[in-house]
Amino acid sequence: MLPCPGTCRPQGNPGPDSHQESGARIPQGESHVPERFGSVSDPLEHTDLIVIGGGSAGFAAAIRGHELGAQVVMVNDGTIGGTCVNVGCVPSKTLIRAAEARHRAARTPFEGIETSSRVTDFGAVIRQKDELVASLREAKYEEVLAAHDRVRLVRGRARLGRDGSVRVGGRTLRAERVIVATGSRPRLPEIPGLRDARPLDSTALFSLDEQPESLIVLGGRYVALECAQMMSRLGTRVTLLQRSEHVLPTESEELTSSLERYLRGEGVDVVTSVTIEQVTRTGGRVAVKARVVGEPRTFRAAEILTATGRRPNTDGMDLEQAGIALDPAGHVVVDETLESTRRGVYAAGDVAGEPAFVYTAAYEGRLAADNALGPVRRARDYRALPWVVFTDPQVAGVGLDARQAEEQGIAVDVARLGLEHVPRALAARDTRGFVELVRRRGSDELLGARVLAPEGGELVMEAALAIRHGIGVSQLASAFHPYLTLAEGIKLCAQAFDRDVSRLSCCSA
């Protein structure tokens, strides 16, 4: 789908069996990777491994299959690269950085410095994003595929037969093993009138040529929060409507309340405990009728964005007829080795359910290929999985927080360090947030970390490595951390279990 002139809206739902890692058509242009496959009599019609999907999980699986010496056929319908590079991580993070540049240029915490900023050409911001997306897709997907001569690309939509074959158009492909890696697409919530109001999803939002004057965002998790702050910083008036009592409802109230306060301080109207009753569009305006803690409210804006979750791309693939069970949401049911209920058929990435990150999709794609083709089967291991919400300040975590530990019956000690105790934050005059570490009571074992801080995603990796490799809290507290780095917050927080860091000198060991 080419970019829409003016304000772009979704052009209907994708085909039910779209096999890229996003159900939406990619607005940045079509891939130039030609189909590479032999004739009907080509022996590759009978191959070692068929990978259905051309996104992060699919590529990781295909590359690993190639490394193991297998002949691989990748079946893909849509633009190569899937969600992350085309309509997810890459476009969102570059637009978030653009919004941050305007935000920081418009205000400064330092005396004696005057600044100003405005968006002069919103379309140019989008076009620059498109250029980055195209270059990364070429370098990290198209050229990578061309470099693996035992991986063949077949374009089309795949359906699985009862006999285990994979049908693509008029072809019937057969393999010893199959990996389903078809990804997911934005889910449209069932709200009266919403579909007729022509809502934006994140794919359409990232392709707008004209900036909306106002925007209502439905949702309160990763995508909703990132998009709400991004658009607000670019100058759009944003209202975020969240059903739960707080955004990021699985996290602690201390964390979520702090994030809400920071967003409101920038001008984002964060409204929680919302029950939406109806959405209407009249002319160029959208109206949302809702109840907020039981009281009737109406919210109005030029556009409405739905960011309430994603649904797996399993429609129309005849998976259940082939003996592959799906859960109520449509995800492929897999065991810990990623094998489905049909022997020899695996699933990886978003299509197999949570966690739905690009780096876990790649991990699962490689693991599925190892388990499908290798002599030893391994289970997924997410004990030290870091995650980041790219708001500002960023929210990052790994392992358990105190509430999750309590729910598992684990006694813990918690140390929380406000950024006002971190010299780097003081020097930057930005002390929003905190670092929190969770230690098993009576031991030195680090169980988890939560970070709310500018660039907090860069901090959480130290905690993730500590959990993965058994590095204790006392070792974090005694390790060298360069002075005036934000990472020093991890050291200080580790020290805070046993000491009052407010009474320590700079760089105190």
Domain end point (choices 256, 286, 308): 308
Is the pTM above the cut of 0.95?
Answer: no
User: Do 442 and 404 lie in a common domain?
Assistant: yes
Same domain, 332 and 216: no
Is 331 contained in some domain?
yes
DSSP codes joined into one string, 484-508? T-TTHHHHHHHHTTTS-GGGSPTT-
Beta strand pairing call for 214-218 and 303-306: parallel
d(CA 215, CA 239): 6
Q: 87: Cβ–Cβ under 8 A, 6 or more apart, which residues?
A: 22, 24, 26, 27, 202, 203, 206
Say if residue 341 is in the same domain as residue 210.
Answer: no
Domain boundary pick from 308, 333, 355: 308
Q: What is the pLDDT of residue 36?
A: 54
Residues 300 and 414 in one domain: no
Cis (ω within 30 of 0) for the bond into 355? yes
Evaluate whether residue 378 is within a structural domain.
no
Q: Which pLDDT score is estimated for 22?
A: 35
CA dist., res. 311 & res. 182, Å (int): 11
Kindly state whether residue 107 falls inside one of the protein's structural domains.
no
Confirm whether 160 is domain-assigned. Answer: yes
Please indicate, yes or no, if residue 34 is contained in any of the structural domains: no
In a domain, 76, yes or no: yes
The domain tally of the chain equals 3
pLDDT one-digit tens code per residue, 272-315: 999 999 999 998 899 999 999 999 999 999 999 999 999 999 99
Q: What is the CATH number of the domain that holds 270?
A: 3.50.50.60
Q: Which of 349, 373, 397 is the last residue of a domain?
A: 373
Average pLDDT of the chain is 90
* 410 and 498 share one domain: yes
- Whether 224 and 287 map to the same domain: the answer is yes
Chain segment 200-256, per-residue pLDDT in tens: 999 999 999 999 999 999 999 999 999 999 999 999 999 999 999 999 999 999 999
Q: Which of 3-7, 98-102, 133-137, 227-231 has the lowest mean pLDDT?
A: 3-7
Q: Are residues 405 and 493 in the same domain?
A: yes
Instruction: Mark whether 234 and 248 lie in a shared domain.
Output: yes
Q: Are residues 420 and 290 in the same domain?
A: no
Could you list the residue range(s) of the whole structural domain that residue 452 is in?
387-503
Note whether 304 and 226 are same-domain residues.
yes
Residues 396 and 249 in one domain: no
Same domain flag for 182 and 50: yes
Helices and strands (H, E) in the chain, number of each type: 14, 21
